[in-house]
Structure 1
Amino acid sequence: MTSRVEHTDVGAYALGILEEPDRTAFSDHLATCRSCAAELQELSGVAGALAGVGPLDDERDDAGGGSGDRGPAEVVNLLRRRKAADRRARRGTFVIGAAAAVTLVAGGIAVGTSISGENGSGSVPVGHSAHGPAEDAYRAGTPVAGAGAPGVTGGLVLETKGWGTHAALELRGVKGPLECELVAVSRTGERRVVTGWAVPERGYGVPGSPEPLYVHGGVAWERPGIDRFEVRTSGGDTLLTVTV
């Protein structure tokens, strides 16, 4: 994708495996393509590299082939196939409880995206919400307010999971074009990216575009070990700090 943008590259963008020229081109594309922006939000948990999510079996595994030689394109395709299968399995039901995951064996990390609550009380009724999973998670919890740059406000809702900590972010007062990341900072100073996204020129939570941004992701640390979360731009500016 060196000279043109493909809609199907949203998975590769979410996994961070596009080369720099392609990543920049696709970031610009997100500002005008609602379908890609919506799919990117669905895949936002991928960037968090959630621990404890097991590998997926596919036809190659069943045939005796190992998963260690999967290339990036195969990983993206496998993620898409599993998500499509999960959506088909949910049709006609009232419970979201599926999870999509892939294992990048060559890199030694597990990457996944969760679309269920895993909060001990069950799941989210599909027919009862007009919002996305990030906004649902934020509205269902008790937000921790953050300290923002001038004009920027927001907060986080945190959930303890078996694999670590899930974070749902609300962000207001940002205009683009920007690339941002939600970064977790441990009490020992270690940093982990929870999720990343692009802010279109119109922005979020600003005059003319009043709706806030909602994104979510996960980090493989238990909540007591986390000092704070930061929303940072690709240029190194901190837009929001949430001390937990």
Structure 2
Amino acid sequence: MTSRVEHTDVGAYALGLLEEDDRLAFETHLLGCGLCRAELSDLSGMASVLSGIGPVEDRAPPSPEPVVSLLRRRRAAHRRTRRGTFVLGMAAAVTLVAGGLAVGTQLAAGSAPTVAQGSDGHMGPAEQFYADGAPIEGRGVDGVTGGLVVESKAWGTHAALRLAGVKGPLQCELVSVGRSGERRVMTGWSVPPAGYGVPGSPDPLYMHGGSATPLKDIDHFEVVTSAGRKLLTVPPTA
């Protein structure tokens, strides 16, 4: 499982769709990610809502398979696609169920998962959130560039990071630094030797992160290595 997509597996984990190796890796990730734990709590009732829901009889061939089984088949067929699009499709499916619409018909017919309006279907959730927001540019060192899109939440602060110009191998963390000096790790990842946003590996890294510190109490954000080297500093507002 790559750091680019591990934050997008919450919906698949909630439905029990992850294969064994991905499930174990995601459970390890949950131990250090408050944002994913909060999202998992919100989605905890999804499997029970979807199980037992089958295709609408007058609009699709009769089938005893529940929606969860159909989603499993879709995941197996599209395993190489980005998980972010799949999870967005599941979220849209749950919304349709709540509205009493014929989700089973769409899934049985093999239609593509619905994605949020304005998405091109190729962005992961962190990249989409960054693209739709107002990025705050950071100050980097040694050619490192990047920025954050931040929002205040009831539980603290949510951020999407864009990072480029960094080569590995490195272990990095996004940290919120409070006005009181308190430091909180928002998320962590590994930078492979090829790096991100550099020649030969031009794509930047996009990551979600969460801090329990309210946005109004944050002095700045930092991207730091496990050795304590500061790569990027971002103010809380532009």
- TM class by smaller structure: 0.5 to 0.7
Residue 190 of structure 1 is matched in structure 2 by 182
| Cα shift at 1:53 | 7.8
* Structure 2 residue 152 is matched with structure 1 residue 160: yes
SS at match of 1:195: strand
Opposite residue 234 of structure 2, the aligned amino acid is V
Structure 1: state its 5+ residue gaps: 1-5, 18-45, 59-83, 98-122
Higher-Rg structure is 2
Which secondary structure does the structure 2 equivalent of 1:157 belong to? strand
The aligned counterpart of 1:10 is 25
CA distances 1:112-145 after superposition (whole Å, capped 9, x unpaired): xxxxxxxxxxx93496431000100111111111
User: Which of residues 166, 170, 178 is equivalent to 1:174?
Assistant: 166
Alignment of 1:198-237 (within 5 A): 198-237=190-229
Deviation at 1:216, TM superposition (A): 0.8
Describe the SS at the equivalent of 2:159: strand
In structure 2, the gaps of 5 or more residues are 1-20, 47-74, 76-85, 97-114
Per-residue deviation, 1:176: 0.8
| CA distance in structure 1 between the partners assigned to 2:173 and 2:138 by the alignment | 15
Amino acid at match of 1:182: L
Aligned in 2, Cα 1:176/1:52: closer, same or farther, shift over 3 Å?
closer
Distance 1:225 1:133, change over 3 A: same
Structure 2 residue 127 is the aligned partner of structure 1 residue 135? yes
Is the Cα contact below 8 Å between 1:155 and 1:169 reproduced in 2? yes
Matched residues in 2 for 1:173 and 1:194: separation? 21
Which structure is higher in RCO with an 8 Å CA cutoff and minimum separation 6? 1
1:16-70 Cα distance to aligned partner (Å, 9 max, x none): 58xxxxxxxxxxxxxxxxxxxxxxxxxxxx2557779858579xxxxxxxxxxxx
The number of aligned residues is 161
Residues 1:177 and 1:188: Cα distance change in structure 2 (over 3 Å): same
Shift of 1:10: 1.7
**TM-aligned CA distance change 1:126 to 1:14, over 3 Å:** farther
Secondary structure, counterpart of 1:159 in structure 2: strand
Are the equivalent residues in 1 in contact too, given 2:175–2:224 (CA < 8 A)?
yes
> Is the contact made by 1:230 and 1:241 (CA closer than 8 Å) also made in structure 2?
yes
